[in-house]
Amino acid sequence: MTELVAVKPKQEAVTGSSKNNFGYIESTDGNINFSIVKNIILNGHHHGNVLYVIRNYAQSHVCKAVADNFNHVVTQDGGNRPDDGFVLTNQVGATQFSRNGEQYIREVNRVNQSVADLMAVADSDSTESLFLNSTLEAGFLERGIHFGPARFKNGYACFATFRRWLDNGVMSLMPHEDMAQVDFAREDDFEIAHTQTVTAYNICLEAAKGGGQLKIWNLIPDNECRARLGVTRTGYPYPPHLLENTESLAVQLNVGDLYFMNACHLHGVSSVSEGSRLTAGRFIGKLNDKKVVYWT
């Protein structure tokens, strides 16, 4: 009698490109090194470093005021983002995820007042300390590069989006990359479709007391990998167990910390075991040698 043996199909490992000297840089003196920022945004790294953390840059009382206001808004109306079958999150602000230009700008217009109300507790100086608009505008202008919100027809990108990732039982935010979703912008030639890089910029408004680490893997998946895993247009999610042998780093963020990260690399957020984690941010992309834009 022949014995039948079940054979599980082999799941291929993730494939793509990686960086030499992969790592990250921290600044703890309250100053921002614009050369590092520029290199990550324009080139995707600074001597192999794909993450730049500026510790304690934003004042804690400003972060608390915005976080408290966020909690109030979410308690009142649940936030702007219902469960879309991908990620669980409390959110105020728009997201381009799975949206072309027309759809994204419509969403921006729908939620703009909520973002304005949320930021009403921060004056101009406090807002600058959170999002560095003037700093980035001036730094890029000195190099002959425009910096500003992405445009679609007569509409402009959301100022920022505020998120608290909710645990899904494996991670707070599963491994993913943010270049894939730009494919939706090609449907109607939203200008971010031409971005050569995707940098994530975030400010930590509320830090987890346990867990909630930012994790980055030294891998930018290729198109074949995306297709195999069924994430060609979303970049989400990549199974964590496939990344067990991939070089990675993990960073704990504290209230007031800012960071710029090459979001083409796989990254995620570990489970929060105590407290909660709230960040505000946007994406930044280089369209060409003369223009850098942000969107959410």
Task: Please say whether the dihedral angle defined by the alpha carbons of residues 261, 265, 268 and 270, taken in this order, is positive or negative.
Answer: negative
CATH number for the domain that contains residue 181: 2.60.120.620
The 10s digit of each residue's pLDDT in 2-53 is 454 443 444 568 999 999 999 999 999 989 999 999 999 999 999 999 999 9
Cα–Cα distance, 168 to 89 (Å, whole number): 10
The pLDDT of residue 1 is above 70: no
Residue 144 forms part of a structural domain? yes
Taking CA atoms, 77 is separated from 44, 131, 168, 224, 291, in Å, by 37, 25, 22, 41, 37
Tell me 44's DSSP state: S
| Bridge pairing between strands 278-288 and 199-206 | antiparallel
Task: Please say whether the dihedral angle defined by the alpha carbons of residues 255, 286, 24 and 210, taken in this order, is positive or negative.
Answer: positive
Query: What's the pLDDT band for 184 if we cut at 50, 70, 90?
Result: very high
Window from 33-42, 75-84, 235-244 with minimum mean pLDDT: 75-84
Residue 16 · residue 221 · CB < 8 Å: yes
Cα–Cα distance, 272 to 208 (Å, whole number): 6
Mean pLDDT of 70-74: 91
Please provide residue 282's backbone torsions phi and psi, each rounded to the nearest 5 degrees: -160, 170
Residue 18 forms part of a structural domain? no
pLDDT of residue 146: 98
Residue 3 forms part of a structural domain? no
Residue-averaged pLDDT of the chain: 93
Cα–Cα distance, 182 to 96 (Å, whole number): 8
Neighbours of 28 (CB within 10 A): 10
Residue 36 forms part of a structural domain? yes
Q: Residue 66 sits in which domain range?
A: 25-295
pLDDT of residue 86: 60
Residue 13 forms part of a structural domain? no
Least Cα distance to 104 among 177, 165, 187 occurs for 187
Least Cα distance to 91 among 168, 160, 161 occurs for 161
Residue 276 forms part of a structural domain? yes
Residue 173 · residue 272 · CB < 8 Å: no
Mean pLDDT of 186-203: 98
Residue 17 forms part of a structural domain? no
Residue 53 forms part of a structural domain? yes
Residue 273 · residue 182 · CB < 8 Å: no
Number of folded domains in the chain?
A: 1
